[in-house]
Structure 1
Amino acid sequence: MRKRLIPVLIIMVGIIGFVVLKATRDVPDPVSPQERSWRVDVMEIQPDALQPSLTLYGQLESPRRFTVVAPMAGRIGELPVRDGQQVEQGSLLVALDEDDILPRVKQAEADLADAQAQLLSEQLNHRNDQQALALEQRILANAETSFKRTEQLVGRELVSRAELDNAQDIVERAALTVATRQRSIDSHESRLTALQARAERAEAALESMQRDAERSRFMAPFAGVVGSVQVAEGDQVNANAALLDFYPVEGMELRASLPQIHAPEFIRALAAGQQLVAHTLETRSPLSMTLQRIAGQADASGVEALFTLDQPVAGLRVGNLLAISVPKPVSENSVALPYSALYGNNTVYALVDGRMSRIEVERVGETRQEGGQRWILVQSEELKAGMRIITTHLPNALQGLRVETAEGDAVGTAPESVTERAE
């Protein structure tokens, strides 16, 4: 009996110990959930009258660029230049072989000499025809007189009828000779005109051949750069075949695509006589160029604006792609912000009571800072002086998100831009 009670007592003691331990255990403090905050950078804004700029991308071209073509078929005799070479005015660019040119010039000279000789021969023949016509007319008159005399003698039966027939044949042959000579004289003007036209054609052909012969040695009309060379010395080329491109260093233009939304204000500025000077975005050696005109044809994406370089640059080549910053009219109550502060196309966030507050803005252009950074220029009636704008771009940004700035950090302010503040 006693052995049976021992296991029961052990179990009871274990239960009592479990109950005592559970009743005397430590109770942890309840955990309350805390909202997470994101650390951001902010800057204090001060709306002001700033001058925005517009970034455009364009390609260099030269309105004086031309292609040297072969004036006639022949072999390339001289090609002293190479692609990209700078040459002085009057330098030889390309020349056809003279052995292909001289025979054609001599043939044209011979054709002209032949036409002129035939024209002179016609004039001499005409003078001879006029002199011969007078003689032949007297011969005809004498033949008619002799015929009449013979006819009278036949009537008196003094001569035979055969002599009358012979006299009549003589009259008819003389009349035929006079008619032929007269027809030759009458057609002189038409023959003379045809021969004169032939001589003029031969003269024109000679002048054209001489001009082509001169053009077969093409000299640089100005100092410039050789573009693409499409032939080599010794090549056989056809007439009007492209040989090489050539353009001057001076007078280059940048053809940049201007969005349609900005085109009207640029057109108005040109019409008002304003001088819009753009600068390339290259910080080491920026180039300046002036807006000259707006292209006469546009498409759905916009219109092309043409800028001329203010100073020629030897290192530039036709086809170079450049990014330029073009000034726009001054914008009142605008704020310059780094691109990291912009969400989408028209949203920024302000720091209000430790949370993000959404503000809708209008983009009016860009501006460049002293260090060369490009900032966005925006406007909004909600942007007030002293407001702190969040410049850290958060991927999970939303209205009311809790944020905080680095403890002890001073609130940043917008640095002044180089050229955009309107005095």
Structure 2
Amino acid sequence: MLRRLLPLLILALGVAAFLWLRATRPESPSVTPEERSWRVETLAATLEPRAPILPLYGEIIAPDMLTVTAPLAGRIAERPVREGQRVARGERLVALDEADVMPPLQQAEAEVADREAQVENERVRHESDLDAVERERELVDNARRQLERTRSLRARNLASQSDLDTARNELARARVTVAARERAIAEHPARLRALEAGLNRAQASLAAARRDAERSRVDAPFDGIVTRIRVAPGDQVAARSELLSVYPERGLELRARIPQRHQGELLDALSRGERLVATDGQGARLVLTGLAGEGDPAGTEAIFRLEEGGERLRPGSLVAVSLQRPKVPGSLAVPYSALYGNEALYLMDEANRMQRLAVTHHGDVVRDDGERWALVSGKALADGDRVIVTHLPNAMQGLLVQSTSDEPAIGDEGDDSAGSVEEDDGHDEVAS
């Protein structure tokens, strides 16, 4: 009997022990799931007028470059300058040989003297004709009276027919002489005008010869730089041949093409009298003076005047510059990592949630350290907003984030420290 009850007793003791252990076990704490937060960097928004920059690429030109040409054919006597040399105003650039310059000048002077003598001779001749015509008219009167006397004598048979014919011939010759003299007097104004015209031509040729003689010795008209030297001393050159060029150092300009979409704002700024300055990053400052008179579908060339620096610039150089466009009121500069699609960024609200904000991208701004940031503005953007500058691939409206500036220092509490490390690892995973 005892052997039959022993297994049941053992089983009952086991069940009782299990129930007792289950009733006296410690209760485990309940685990509640926590929402994960992403570590981000934030930027406090400060709105103020800022000028976006417009990168441009253009060519340096010298609009006042002077090209020296030979006024006449001759030999180069001197050329004391060299390529790229800086010259002062009045400094000799090039000169032709006097042996080639003086003969045309002397010939022109001789031609003027000859024409002046002809004009003076015509005036003397005219005065002589005026005196002679009076005496010749008196001879006509005498010849007429002699003819009348001869006729009277012939009528009384006191003179021969031959005497009468001789008297008639004398009167005719006297009349012909007077007519020729009167014709010479009448032609005097035309002859004088012709001689004076020839004198004017000779004087014009003399002026041209003197001009060429003066231009055969060329001095620098301004402080500038010599370029494009084509000749050396001793070279024989033809008339109107290019010898060299010189341009003012401070008169350089930059021609750069402006995209069509920016032309309106630049013209409006110029009409308001704003100074729009472009820099090349190496000390050169150029001021926008206007746009070219012609353009094409790709844009219109903007004209920049060199105002400061630029000693290394030369005509023909290709230069990259940054133009400061008109200022945008209420704008904010943010790193490009803060932008999403160039049209939105995220703010961090009081509940540490991401809030999407539509913005307008106006271009770039350059910080003091040379880094380019994006310049944006938005109607809902206000001073003090915390802009999230960390780019999250999973960014979305309402996502929980944590600013790195709000986290406790590592080592304050063991548990918090471990949790921070885990979140950091997760953030790095996402960022990668």
- Scaled by the length of structure 2, what TM-score is found? 0.73
Q: CA deviation at 1:198?
A: 1.3
Letter paired with 2:279: T
- The whole-number CA distance in structure 1 between the counterparts of 2:155 and 2:334 is 134
Is 1:378–2:373 an aligned residue pair? no
Percent sequence identity over aligned pairs:
41
- The aligned counterpart of 2:288 is 291
* Structure 1 residues 261-306: Cα deviation after superposition (integer angstroms, max 9, x where no partner): 2222222222222223x24242xx4222322333333332223332
Correspondence 1:131-142 to 2 at 5 A: 131-142=131-142
Contact 1:349 1:390 in 2 (8 A): no
Alpha carbons of 1:391 and 1:67: their partners in 2 closer, same or farther (altered >3 Å)?
Answer: farther
Alpha carbons of 1:360 and 1:227: their partners in 2 closer, same or farther (altered >3 Å)?
Answer: farther
Contact 2:69 2:244 in 1 (8 A): yes
- The aligned counterpart of 2:226 is 226
Alpha carbons of 1:47 and 1:314: their partners in 2 closer, same or farther (altered >3 Å)?
Answer: closer
* Structure 1 residues 141-172: Cα deviation after superposition (integer angstroms, max 9, x where no partner): 11111111111112222222122112111111
Is 1:79–2:79 an aligned residue pair? yes
Contact 1:45 1:388 in 2 (8 A): no
- The aligned counterpart of 1:46 is 45
The range that moved more, 223-232 or 41-50, is: 41-50
- The aligned counterpart of 2:5 is none
Alpha carbons of 1:61 and 1:391: their partners in 2 closer, same or farther (altered >3 Å)?
Answer: farther
Alpha carbons of 1:239 and 1:358: their partners in 2 closer, same or farther (altered >3 Å)?
Answer: farther
- The whole-number CA distance in structure 1 between the counterparts of 2:379 and 2:94 is 66
Is 1:325–2:322 an aligned residue pair? yes
- The whole-number CA distance in structure 2 between the counterparts of 1:245 and 1:342 is 52
The range that moved more, 168-177 or 291-300, is: 291-300
- The aligned counterpart of 2:182 is 182
Contact 1:92 1:217 in 2 (8 A): yes
Is 1:302–2:299 an aligned residue pair? yes
- The aligned counterpart of 1:316 is 313
- The whole-number CA distance in structure 1 between the counterparts of 2:186 and 2:286 is 72
Alpha carbons of 1:239 and 1:140: their partners in 2 closer, same or farther (altered >3 Å)?
Answer: same
Alpha carbons of 1:89 and 1:349: their partners in 2 closer, same or farther (altered >3 Å)?
Answer: same
Alpha carbons of 1:41 and 1:176: their partners in 2 closer, same or farther (altered >3 Å)?
Answer: farther
- The whole-number CA distance in structure 2 between the counterparts of 1:391 and 1:246 is 55
User: Over the residues paired in the alignment, what is the CA RMSD in angstroms?
Assistant: 3.6
Contact 2:266 2:326 in 1 (8 A): no
Contact 2:278 2:324 in 1 (8 A): no
- The whole-number CA distance in structure 1 between the counterparts of 2:283 and 2:337 is 25
- The whole-number CA distance in structure 1 between the counterparts of 2:314 and 2:302 is 19
Contact 1:249 1:313 in 2 (8 A): no
Alpha carbons of 1:342 and 1:113: their partners in 2 closer, same or farther (altered >3 Å)?
Answer: farther
Contact 2:347 2:356 in 1 (8 A): no
Alpha carbons of 1:212 and 1:341: their partners in 2 closer, same or farther (altered >3 Å)?
Answer: farther
- The aligned counterpart of 1:149 is 149
Letter paired with 1:58: G
Letter paired with 2:323: V
- The aligned counterpart of 1:363 is 361
User: What SS does structure 2 have at the residue aligned with 1:263?
Assistant: helix
Q: CA deviation at 1:40?
A: 12
- The aligned counterpart of 1:416 is none
User: What SS does structure 2 have at the residue aligned with 1:366?
Assistant: strand
Contact 2:337 2:391 in 1 (8 A): yes
* Structure 1 residues 302-324: Cα deviation after superposition (integer angstroms, max 9, x where no partner): 23332223335433222233222
Contact 1:51 1:327 in 2 (8 A): no
- The aligned counterpart of 1:271 is 271
- The whole-number CA distance in structure 2 between the counterparts of 1:312 and 1:260 is 29
- The aligned counterpart of 1:113 is 113
- Scaled by the length of structure 1, what TM-score is found? 0.75
Structure 1 residue runs of 5 or longer lacking an equivalent are 1-38, 412-423
- The aligned counterpart of 1:21 is none
- The whole-number CA distance in structure 1 between the counterparts of 2:304 and 2:375 is 24
The range that moved more, 158-167 or 321-330, is: 321-330
Q: CA deviation at 1:42?
A: 6.8
- The whole-number CA distance in structure 2 between the counterparts of 1:373 and 1:230 is 46
- The whole-number CA distance in structure 2 between the counterparts of 1:342 and 1:322 is 30
Is 1:215–2:212 an aligned residue pair? no
The range that moved more, 102-111 or 79-88, is: 79-88
Letter paired with 1:51: R
The range that moved more, 127-136 or 72-81, is: 72-81
- The whole-number CA distance in structure 1 between the counterparts of 2:145 and 2:66 is 80
- The whole-number CA distance in structure 1 between the counterparts of 2:358 and 2:69 is 59
Letter paired with 2:230: Q
Question: Aligned residue pairs: how many?
Answer: 364
Q: CA deviation at 1:117?
A: 0.6
- The aligned counterpart of 2:34 is none
- The whole-number CA distance in structure 2 between the counterparts of 1:233 and 1:41 is 74
The range that moved more, 80-89 or 181-190, is: 80-89
* Structure 1 residues 76-112: Cα deviation after superposition (integer angstroms, max 9, x where no partner): 2222212211111111111122111100000000000
Structure whose residues are more often helix by fraction = 2
Q: CA deviation at 1:41?
A: 8.9
- The aligned counterpart of 2:26 is none
- The whole-number CA distance in structure 1 between the counterparts of 2:158 and 2:334 is 138
- The whole-number CA distance in structure 1 between the counterparts of 2:318 and 2:337 is 27
Correspondence 1:95-110 to 2 at 5 A: 95-110=95-110
